[in-house]
Amino acid sequence: MRREIIKIDEERCDGCGLCVPACAEGAIQVIDGKAKLVGEVYCDGLGACLGECPQGALTIETREADAFDEGAVEKHLESFLEEKTTPDWEPKSKTPACDFTCPGSASQVLQRQGTSPSAAAEETGAIATQLGQWPVQLHLVPVNAPYFQDADLLIAADCVPFAYGDFHRKFLKGRALVVGCPKLDDMEAYRRKLSEIFRQNDIRMVEVAHMEVPCCFGLVQLVQAALRDSGKEIPLVLTKVGIRGEILERSQAATATS
Task: Categorize the per-residue pLDDT at 112 as very low, low, confident or very high, splitting at 50, 70 and 90.
Answer: low
Distance, in Å, from the CA atom of 219 to the CA atom of 206, rounded to the nearest integer, reads 13
| Residue whose C-alpha is closest to residue 242's, from 220, 209, 207 | 209
Portion of the chain with pLDDT greater than 70, in percent: 79
pLDDT tens readout for residues 49-73: 776 688 889 999 999 999 999 899 8
Which residue spans of the chain are classified as CATH 3.30.70.20? 2-68
Query: In the CATH hierarchy, which fold is given to the domain comprising 2-68?
Result: Alpha-Beta Plaits (3.30.70)
* Residue ranges matching CATH 3.40.50 in the chain: 98-110+126-253
Global model pTM greater than 0.75: no
pLDDT confidence of residue 157: 96
Phi, psi angle pair for 197, to nearest 5°: -60, -45
Cβ neighbours of residue 128 closer than 8 Å, sequence gap 6 or more:
113, 115, 116, 117, 119, 120, 168
Looking at residue 52, its pLDDT comes to 67
Burial class (CB in 10 A: 0-12, 13-18, 19+), 33: exposed
Strand partners, 62: 4
pLDDT at 161: 95
Stretch 162-166: mean pLDDT: 93
Q: What is the CATH number of domain 98-110+126-253?
A: 3.40.50
Please classify residue 233 by burial: count the beta carbons closer than 10 Å to its beta carbon, then call 0-12 exposed, 13-18 middle and 19+ buried: exposed
Q: How far is C-alpha 136 from the geometric centre of its chain's CA atoms?
A: 13
pLDDT at 148 over 90: yes
Cα separation, 121 vs 127, whole angstroms: 5
Q: What are phi and psi of 254, to 5 degrees?
A: -65, 150
How does pLDDT run across 182-233, given as a tens digit for each residue? 888 888 888 999 999 999 999 999 999 999 988 888 899 999 999 999 999 9
Overall average pLDDT of the 127-146 stretch: 90
